[in-house]
Amino acid sequence: MEPPDPSSQETSGDEHPLKVSCGIILKNGKILCAKRLPGSWDDLWEFPGGKVETGESPSQAVIRELYEELNIRVEILLPMPTVLYRYPHLYLQLFPFICRIVENTPQIAVHEEIRWLNPDEIQDLPWLAPNWSILSDLKKLLEDKPDLLNG
């Protein structure tokens, strides 16, 4: 699957991005990927997460969201580069974090499906557009620090 070109995206002119955090959850050499429910952006994959609430830091948001969405407690191992992406109707600021599970097993609640995939398998999925930047950064990071995959 080829990533869309973010420079070709039009914007509504709103310069206040919606802040969203997501978790790149690593375990036993695999990465947790989540398929969205039918509706907006259905059949596309993402790293689980959600909106940063008022008074909350992006790192606090990812910990809360992963508990709400997957019933897991995580530890953040490190932040990844922030992604800015413009949809026609939305300006998004995405804060990705490399995480490992410290409690519970992921349960499906707000996704159609979740999969544990090897790094070379995730490129074949149809991803939400902002996630392509994360995938590129993740590939470089794992080349430099392959032991991270063990979570």
What is the domain partition of the chain in residue ranges?
A: 19-146
Task: State how far the alpha carbon of 8 is from the alpha carbons of 11, 94, 129, in Å.
Answer: 10, 18, 12
Q: Residues near 32 by Cβ (< 8 Å), separated by ≥ 6?
A: 23, 24, 25, 26, 47, 48, 106, 114, 115, 116
Token couple for 11: 């914007």
CATH of the domain spanning 19-146, picked from 3.40.50.300, 3.30.70.360, 3.90.79.10, 3.90.180.10: 3.90.79.10
Residue 55, classed as helix, strand or coil, is: coil
* The token pair that represents 140 in the structure block: 């470089």
pTM: 0.87
Mind listing the pLDDT tens digit of every residue in the chain (151 residues)? Answer: 544 444 334 334 457 899 999 999 999 999 999 999 888 767 899 999 999 999 999 999 999 999 999 999 999 999 999 999 998 989 999 999 999 999 999 999 999 999 999 999 999 999 999 999 999 999 999 999 989 888 7
